[in-house]
Structure formats: structure tokens, C-alpha cells
């Protein structure tokens, strides 16, 4: 972690950080307003998250990651870009979903470029699997959306299969969706394109 990232944690966490608790989080209180709420799981260094928050200033983003330098970096960017509609958590996302998010509290869920665990024996470590989506779905409002993206084709197929298996979700496209205007190109995406990978977006709505 750089000195600047550590300084951002020290100075910005009290305002923009959310500590884990084994009780429901009042999202409106956390953001100080009653606006649409989106959960972002795995924000990396936070560059894309901050850009999305700038493009959608009337939406609030709860961004979760466990990577210390990434947490420091997103807080540094929040300060530099004068962002007010992001709150940051450094904790396991599964536990946050289970313990802190109330049913029907989210308008959207973003999972962009999760670790593909590309070795066959590691596939079971992938985040996007039926049991996890079963935990996520109740947190979404009716009409809320799930947006995932990956540059790993085999994981894209798995995401499509998992999301399509839920009767409560409706695909917004025939299979993979056009990249929504709000999602910028991430460093993972740029790297994937350099390696000749495609990029697949999936957008499903809750009925």
C-alpha cells in the first residue's frame, strides 16, 4: 500500500467507510439521502467505480472489496474527484450480503471482472454461482437489475447459465448485453483486449 493510499484510509474512512456489523445497515442513513442504491462487489482499484459514480450522480454506490491498496485508492479518488455518492467496505461480500443488507434494499448489483479462477480445479472458488445469487436476489427490489461483466469466455457462459436458471430474473438481451453507457472500460478489460480476449456483459432484471 502506498503512503497516499494509507493516508486516504486514515482521513477519508470516517466519512466514506462503512464498518462491518452483524445487523442491518440503514443505507439511506449511510448516504444521507433516499436515492437508488447499487451494490458493487469487487471494485479493484476503484477507478471504474468512481467514474460510474460521476456518470450517475443521483445513484448511491456501496462498494465492497477486501484488497487494502484498492480500498486506499478508491478513497483517494473519492477525495480527488469530490465524490459524495460512494461508501466503501473492506469485508467479505458474502457476509455483508447475509448480515447487513435488508431484503428489497437494492436497485442494482454490479459484479465486474471477478476473478475467473481459470484452472478447472479452482472453478468452485468463483463468486458467481447459484448459492451466492440465491443470497443476492432477495436484496434486489422488483425491477432491480444485476449487471455482470467478464473477459473470460468460459466464465461468461457460467454467468449466463447461473442467472438464466432463476425464474425471478429476466435477461434484458437474447444472451449477452451491449455494454451500458455508464460502465467505462476497466483496466482488466483493456488488458483482456490486448490479450485478444472478448468482453461479455450480462444484464438481468428482477421480475
Per-residue pLDDT band for 116 (boundaries 50, 70, 90) equals: confident
User: Annotated binding residue at 189?
Assistant: yes
Catalytic residue among 10, 26, 34, 115: 115
User: Annotated binding residue at 65?
Assistant: yes
User: Annotated binding residue at 58?
Assistant: no
Contact 60, 87 (CB under 8 A): yes
**What is the bridge-based pairing of β-strands 169-171 and 86-89?**
unpaired
C-alpha cell, 144: 432491480
- Give the span between the Cα atoms of 167 and 33, in whole angstroms: 32
- Give the span between the Cα atoms of 161 and 156, in whole angstroms: 9
**54-63 confidence digits (pLDDT tens):** 999 999 999 9
> What domains appear along the chain, each with residue ranges and CATH number?
3-206 (3.40.50.150)
pTM of the complete model: 0.94
Contact 99, 22 (CB under 8 A): yes
pLDDT at 122: 60
User: Annotated binding residue at 186?
Assistant: yes
Q: Does residue 65 surpass a pLDDT of 70? A: yes
What is the chain's length? 207
The question of whether 58 is a catalytic residue gets the answer: no
**What is the bridge-based pairing of β-strands 140-150 and 200-206?**
antiparallel
pLDDT at 191: 82
Amino acid at each position: 500500500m502506498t503512503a497516499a493510499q494509507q493516508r486516504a484510509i486514515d482521513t477519508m474512512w470516517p466519512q466514506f467507510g462503512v464498518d462491518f456489523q452483524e445487523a442491518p445497515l440503514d443505507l439511506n442513513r449511510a448516504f444521507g439521502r433516499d436515492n437508488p442504491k447499487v451494490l458493487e462487489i469487487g471494485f479493484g482499484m476503484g477507478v471504474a467505480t468512481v467514474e460510474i459514480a460521476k456518470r450517475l450522480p443521483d445513484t448511491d454506490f456501496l462498494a465492497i472489496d477486501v484488497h487494502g491498496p484498492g480500498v486506499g485508492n478508491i478513497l483517494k479518488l473519492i477525495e480527488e474527484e469530490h465524490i459524495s455518492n460512494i461508501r466503501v467496505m473492506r469485508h467479505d461480500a458474502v457476509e455483508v450480503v447475509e448480515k447487513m443488507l435488508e431484503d428489497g434494499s437494492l436497485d442494482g448489483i454490479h459484479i465486474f471482472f471477478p476473478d475467473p479462477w481459470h484452472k478447472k480445479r479452482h472453478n468452485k472458488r468463483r463468486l458467481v454461482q447459484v448459492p451466492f445469487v440465491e443470497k443476492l436476489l432477495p436484496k434486489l427490489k422488483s425491477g432491480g437489475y444485476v449487471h455482470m461483466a467478464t473477459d473470460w469466455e468460459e466464465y461468461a457462459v457460467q454467468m449466463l447459465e447461473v442467472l438464466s436458471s432463476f425464474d425471478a430474473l429476466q435477461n434484458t438481451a437474447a444472451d449477452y448485453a451491449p455494454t451500458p453507457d455508464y460502465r467505462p472500460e476497466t483496466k482488466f478489460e483493456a488488458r483482456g483486449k490486448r490479450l485478444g480476449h472478448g468482453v461479455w456483459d450480462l444484464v438481468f432484471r428482477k421480475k
